[in-house]
Structure 1
Amino acid sequence: MDPLVLVPGLLCTEALFAPQIGALAGDGVKVQVADHRQDETIAAIATRLLGEAPPRFALAGLSMGGYIAMEVMRRAPERLMLLDTSARPDTEQQTENRGRLIALAESGKFDQVTPSLFPLFVHEDRQEDAALRALVGQMAIATGPQAFVRQQRAIIARPDARPFLGAIACPTTIVVGDGDRLTPPELAREMQELIPRAKLEPVAGAGHLPTLEAPDAVTGLMRTWLAA
């Protein structure tokens, strides 16, 4: 089975995939988590990923990680999983919202960023989940304000990936929480329609972070995808 490279989302660390990493390690899968905190463009992050990855690998990215994964696929198509992401570029409103969060981080108010984002990160039924809120906060602290700003600037400048999706020839699984409000299911369906060999897998009861909200369901999808 090919090694697996995982790409976390904005403000997230390897803890985003901790349930899957533990389960897949038991299956003998070698898992590597990409570094998406050092660079200020999606292209540069993809270059770093490819420089550190094995010669052949399966690739899965969530949210911002999906933007990076689509850039990697232009250069090294093998096997792809996209989780709660979008092929579209930022809208004007999204860029304005990111600018406000960047301003908070750069003015010493980084502690206000996670409380602003958490309600959008998780399913509406998980809003009062203290353990999940704490984990998201821990990942944000580990990321830090400077890396957060780099990530946001990379996301703002990302290209429209839709014109290139038709060239993805490898088996592709698209996963989306059925309650994701940041990259809702209709964006996942759009990618499925554009990628020739794509399969869509909605995750019930999950929002934008299904790897943590419904870990067993996502682990099962990863096992099926890796074994295909």
Structure 2
Amino acid sequence: MEPIVFVPGLLCTETLYAPQIVAFADRPIMVADHRQHNTIPEIAADILAKAPERFALAGLSMGGYISMEIMRQAPERVSRLALLDTNPRADTPEQTERRQFLIKLTREKGFTKVPHLLYPGFVHENRLEDEDLKATVVEMANETGPDAFIRQTEAIMARDDARPFLPAISCPTMVLVGDGDTLTPPSLAQEIHGLIPGSELVTIPGSGHLSTLEAPSEVIAALSAWLAR
């Protein structure tokens, strides 16, 4: 059984993959720590230093940016790749401006409001009033903390456009997206799918950006098929 390395998104912990970790408990599983470094290449190198020699790799959102960088640094170590609700492009000026605002808010007024400001973008519009899901998201954010949030956000702002490197990916690849993902919409998943030869595109109905928590059984089914390829 090949091990799986899961890479969480911004302000997310292993809780992001809790349903999937249970579902694939027969395999060795590592959840990457992406909280210690200031750039995507440094985070990727740190994960590679700690990961098994060869592994299946799955990353959501920021975890996808990191996974694409891992593929650039050490493609021979990845047996298969799953990119969930992510974006192959560099930040737009508008995205960077919003991130800088959130960093400024964190530094000047504290971190308390930040998870609540981010939550509506993280989930499908039908989950905006889902207090249990919101509590999970806020808890992950608080566990990550303000210092790591600033490091992660600076890493995201400085990331490279991954698109030039995607056609070189040759392992079995699945690209998955929630049909209601407003942060990294389905058009971006379609772009990734078009750039990675032989990749599979899966769209999850009724899910937003945090598909692993919003539609756990559908994501588990998609990952099961991916692991069987």
> One fold, TM greater than 0.5?
yes
Q: Secondary structure at the match of 2:174?
A: strand
- Superposition RMSD on alpha carbons, in Å? 0.7
Shift of residue 108, structure 1, vs aligned partner: 3.9
Match of 1:119 in 2: 120
Task: Give the alignment of 1:128-167 within 5 angstroms.
Answer: 128-167=129-168
**Per-residue Cα deviation, 1:60-119 (whole angstroms, up to 9, x for no partner):** 000000000000001222210000001000000000000000111112421110111100
Task: Give the alignment of 1:167-178 within 5 angstroms.
Answer: 167-178=168-179
Q: For the residues of structure 1 that align with 2:31 and 2:107, how far apart are their CA atoms?
A: 27
Q: Secondary structure at the match of 1:107?
A: helix
Match of 2:225 in 1: 224
Match of 1:196 in 2: 197
Query: Percent identity of the aligned residues?
Result: 59
Match of 1:43 in 2: 41
Provide structure 1 residue ranges, at least 5 long, that are not aligned to the other structure.
Answer: none
| Residues 1:63 and 2:57 are matched in the alignment | no
Letter in 2 for 1:18: A
Q: Secondary structure at the match of 1:175?
A: strand
Letter in 1 for 2:24: L
Q: Secondary structure at the match of 2:225?
A: helix
TM-score, normalised on structure 1?
0.98
Shift of residue 184, structure 1, vs aligned partner: 0.1
Q: For the residues of structure 2 that align with 1:76 and 1:19, how far apart are their CA atoms?
A: 28
Q: For the residues of structure 1 that align with 2:169 and 2:3, how far apart are their CA atoms?
A: 19
**Per-residue Cα deviation, 1:95-154 (whole angstroms, up to 9, x for no partner):** 000000011111242111011110000000010000000000000000000000000000
Shift of residue 224, structure 1, vs aligned partner: 1.1
The farther-off stretch of 199-208 and 102-111 is 102-111
Provide structure 2 residue ranges, at least 5 long, that are not aligned to the other structure.
Answer: none
| Residues 1:80 and 2:77 are matched in the alignment | no
Q: For the residues of structure 1 that align with 2:169 and 2:178, how far apart are their CA atoms?
A: 23
